[in-house]
Structure 1
Amino acid sequence: MDKRINLKMKPIVIATLISLTSSQVLLAGELSAKDIVTGITVSGYVQTEVRYNNDFNDVDSSDIVVDEINFTIDGQVHKFAKTTLSFKYEEDITPLEVDNAYLTLSSNSPLYLKAGQLYVPFGNFSTHMVSDSLTHFAETRETAVQLGIKNGGVYGSIYGFNGINNARNTIDHYGLNLGFSLLTKPYYNINKHNKNSTPKSFDMGIGYISDIGDADSLEGFLTNTVDYDYIDATNVYVNFSYGTFSFMGEYIAALDNFKSKHIAFNGTGAKIHAYDTEIGLNFNLAGYNTTVAIGYQVTEEALALQLPESRIIGILSTEIYTNTSLSLEYALNKDYSEDDGGTGKDSNSVILQLAVKF
């Protein structure tokens, strides 16, 4: 059977499940006036950076930039209904735009429903660093419907949307995720007089998406979608901390090759993989909450995305005031070999970031 026919059949099942289960969310029962809770919450952050870079061609550059501004408004219109609207700006990259715009419906059950423009839950992308990890290429923002469940430490969801090849005007892209998280005694809540109080956190999960070509960083390279086949992908991640030590790890992989006319590597269709591993240590430095971390990141067949083959990266970050951090990051990138179409050379970058969140 033709692959694209199979892909159309599966979203029908997902749409049916979302329709049936969202009815349970919406019809959870009549609520009394005391159940109605309203309010507006405003949050966001501003990140300004001083950057230095020595690229693969040994050309130096430096700049001062507004790395990112984010402004988020959460409107709690009902105990079980909330809207989220956020705006984002990145100097020289993203003009001021609507980043998220979705509503969330819940009930007394573990189920919830999200609908609107949102980041679908494919990939985790947790990092200690200032720079995005190399796995971040898979981040996907779409206008989607997501049906999820949270019960204790278990969480998961299914979602559907109309992807990059939307000429057919069908909701034929979909995905799912499943995970488990545990959090006990966060670092900032430790009772200093109780030596047995050790903060612990754990989060692991897996995910699947029917077409990684929908990822934001890939859409710019898929300008020609004639004869395009969906490239499904999977991800797995593990993040944990114990005391002042933390570890983050993630792996993202396409499960098939792109056609060479869409995204190529070394003369054939690319099959993109990436992983990220980091370890960090949190400690008190002269009365300031401080983190030092180091990471190692790798990509495979991602030259067309202008990503390095590997990266060694480290950071020192200090909270100089409440919700205000000063971070110094160094990264050593290695390009793909000349045989693979790269330069085979190294590049270096240094970033000093001042960030404030509210």
Structure 2
Amino acid sequence: MSYSLKPLALSLAILGLVSTSVFAANESEPNQQMEKINAQTQLLEKQLAKLQAEVVALKTQVKLEKIAVTAKKHQVVAKKTPKTSLSTGSGTEVPLSQEKVTPEASAPADTSVSQELILDPDVYMPFDIYVPGQSFVSTGPYIGVPIQYAGTNLVINNPSINQDVVLLKLRSDINKELAARGTVDVEGRHSHLLLSGVIEGAAYYADNGGGAANTSDINVTNVSLDGFLLGPTEWTSAYFELSYKDNVDTALTNYRSANSEVFINKAFIMLGNFDKSPIYSTIGQLYVPFGTYSSQMISSPFTKILARTKARTVVLGYSPMLANTFYASTYIFRGDSHASSVSRINNGGVNIGYKFDQGLVVGNVGAGVIGNLADSAGMQYTNNQPLFNGFGGPSPYGSEQLVHNVPAYNIRGLFSIGGHVDLLAEYVGASTRFNPNDMTFSGHGARPWAINTEAAYSFPLFNRPSSVGINYGQSGDALALGLPEKRLGAVFNTSWWRNTLQSLEFRHDIGYAASATSSGSNVTGPSGTGVADNVVTAQLDYYF
């Protein structure tokens, strides 16, 4: 019996093994089919993604071609209609041949953009439209100073007054341009950083009067890196400027090339949105809105040297984006010079003006007051050590302690006629005399003042924007600050290459009479020479 069961068991075992392999083969066929389907699905997904990317690329290419055609049309129009004007429409920062007197918009609801964006609508965009996605750090020409082949954009001497207003208007223009392009605004989620800057070199030759030796030099006169931060909300913006200082500190070394330094020149936060309100506020380190100091000349005007004031301040202003309107601002800060021994907020002022556009004539007139002129940069530092070196000293060459504060006032007018002729006049002066212990001129308390007048004519030269101009400046009771008494000057400016400026200036300075004397902080100041100096200066600016 046992022998008969063994063949049967063996047969059943063999049959089981065969059936198991058959079932396994039958089960593996669906798995292979599923793997094949998955592979085909992944391949289709890749092909679909590739097709979607090609569609996006084609749409982007079409959009960029439209933008390029539009920009080319605007550039052709700009080349045909070059002009130069004096004012930005902000009321104060209006260097001659730099920015327009007409505002960027004729009404708050206007969707037009400024001439700067029309000339080259891409330079101020806070991201690169030629790359898919958003780039939140980008570059664009020097903030507020677009350089194009049009006379409106020639920049020579930028005083940086009311720079916060200029930046807020620039942001408004950016928003309008983005809206016109149908670009999605991402400011609610991110901040944009727009970087720009300038590198400036100059050479001069001076024929010094009175038998003094002639002098000459080649120097890097300015290097600045500016950052304009937009967002993350539509009401907040910020700005900073890193600058290079070329002064030689002989206490460290006489090797000038090794003695350069970089410092924070300006840094401030702006609260405002000119698309929704003309009211704005600024807090930080900036030039307070006292005076304009516009100039087409390479050399700074006497008014700027005497009164331009940089402080850590709070500014509250009103600047409508209208063609014909009043504007105003007020500010407070703690000045370095003081009549009290207590450190406190002790200085401030008010600036008012009216801008207008009558077609043939556009202009900007205004006035301002400041509580203490002694806080201006020209009075804080004169670079005359070991003579009176300014109220900022260091001791014993100057002292911030004053017997009393000396207020000052400013009156200005800037006009553009027919888009080619520009005229400006500005006066700034102390309203009362300094105490003789603080500053003197020829034995009595000094009451310094200065005036600057200029006229310019702009024209295309070989299809490049160019201008010629003349100026007359005069100062009074300002010998302690190292100023000449009178100045006559002439200048030629052009922009031969994009984002550059070339300038050639001649100036004739006449010193105070040889009998004039001065002092400051009871320290002897410069004496009059009664002679004249002639200086020729060439300058090249590269903006990025």
Q: Quickly name the TM-score band, shorter chain normalised.
A: 0.7 to 0.9
Structure 2 contact 205–216 (Cα < 8 Å) conserved = yes
Q: Which amino acid aligns with 1:60?
A: N
Consecutive unaligned residues of structure 1, counting only runs of 5 or more, are 1-32, 185-197
Match of 1:79 in 2: 234
Match of 2:268 in 1: 102
Q: Which deviations, in whole Å up to 9, do the C-alpha atoms of 1:284-333 show, x marking residues without a partner?
A: 11222111000000000100100000000110111111121111100000
Match of 1:161 in 2: 333
Alignment partners' CA distance in 1, 2:337 and 2:433? 17
Q: Which deviations, in whole Å up to 9, do the C-alpha atoms of 1:91-143 show, x marking residues without a partner?
A: 22784211111100014322111001110001101001111111112110000
Consecutive unaligned residues of structure 2, counting only runs of 5 or more, are 1-184, 249-259, 382-389, 392-397, 518-527
Deviation of 1:239 (Å) = 1.0
The reply to whether residue 173 of structure 1 matches residue 353 of structure 2 is no
Q: Which amino acid aligns with 2:315?
A: Q
What TM-score do you get using the length of structure 1 for normalisation? 0.83
Q: Which deviations, in whole Å up to 9, do the C-alpha atoms of 1:319-354 show, x marking residues without a partner?
A: 111121111100000000012231110001110101
Alignment partners' CA distance in 1, 2:336 and 2:472? 31
Match of 2:219 in 1: 65
**RMSD of aligned C-alpha atoms?**
1.9
Deviation of 1:200 (Å) = 4.9
Structure 1 contact 56–335 (Cα < 8 Å) conserved = no
Counterparts in 2 of 1:294-313, with a 5 A limit? 294-313=470-489
The reply to whether residue 51 of structure 1 matches residue 237 of structure 2 is no
- Number of residue pairs aligned between Structure 1 and Structure 2: 313
Secondary structure, aligned partner of 1:83: strand
What TM-score do you get using the length of structure 2 for normalisation? 0.55
Counterparts in 2 of 1:226-241, with a 5 A limit? 226-241=401-416
Secondary structure, aligned partner of 2:415: strand
Counterparts in 2 of 1:312-323, with a 5 A limit? 312-323=488-499
- Identity of aligned pairs, percent? 28
Match of 2:244 in 1: 89
Q: Which amino acid aligns with 1:74?
A: F
Structure 2 contact 403–437 (Cα < 8 Å) conserved = no
Alignment partners' CA distance in 1, 2:316 and 2:474? 32
Q: Which deviations, in whole Å up to 9, do the C-alpha atoms of 1:73-97 show, x marking residues without a partner?
A: 0101221100111122242278421
Structure 1 contact 39–76 (Cα < 8 Å) conserved = yes
**Greater strand fraction, Structure 1 or Structure 2:** 1
Alignment partners' CA distance in 2, 1:304 and 1:56? 20
Alignment partners' CA distance in 1, 2:488 and 2:261? 30
Deviation of 1:259 (Å) = 1.5
Deviation of 1:35 (Å) = 7.2
Which range moves more in the overlay, 55-64 or 318-327?
Answer: 55-64
Q: Which deviations, in whole Å up to 9, do the C-alpha atoms of 1:178-223 show, x marking residues without a partner?
A: 1122468xxxxxxxxxxxxx77531111110000000011013112
Match of 1:140 in 2: 309
Which range moves more in the overlay, 242-251 or 92-101?
Answer: 92-101
Distance 1:61 1:227, change over 3 A: closer
Distance 1:176 1:300, change over 3 A: same
- Computing the radius of gyration from Cα coordinates, the structure with the larger value is 2
Alignment partners' CA distance in 2, 1:65 and 1:211? 34
The reply to whether residue 128 of structure 1 matches residue 283 of structure 2 is no
Structure 1 contact 119–141 (Cα < 8 Å) conserved = yes
Q: Which amino acid aligns with 2:280?
A: Y
Alignment partners' CA distance in 2, 1:237 and 1:182? 14
Structure 1 contact 289–318 (Cα < 8 Å) conserved = yes
Distance 1:316 1:297, change over 3 A: same
Structure 2 contact 243–263 (Cα < 8 Å) conserved = yes
Q: Which amino acid aligns with 2:451?
A: Y
Distance 1:120 1:227, change over 3 A: closer
Q: Which amino acid aligns with 1:321?
A: W
Alignment partners' CA distance in 2, 1:67 and 1:200? 35
Distance 1:75 1:34, change over 3 A: closer
Structure 2 contact 458–466 (Cα < 8 Å) conserved = yes
Alignment partners' CA distance in 1, 2:369 and 2:400? 22
Structure 1 contact 225–262 (Cα < 8 Å) conserved = no
Alignment partners' CA distance in 2, 1:201 and 1:66? 36
Secondary structure, aligned partner of 2:515: helix
Alignment partners' CA distance in 2, 1:307 and 1:343? 12
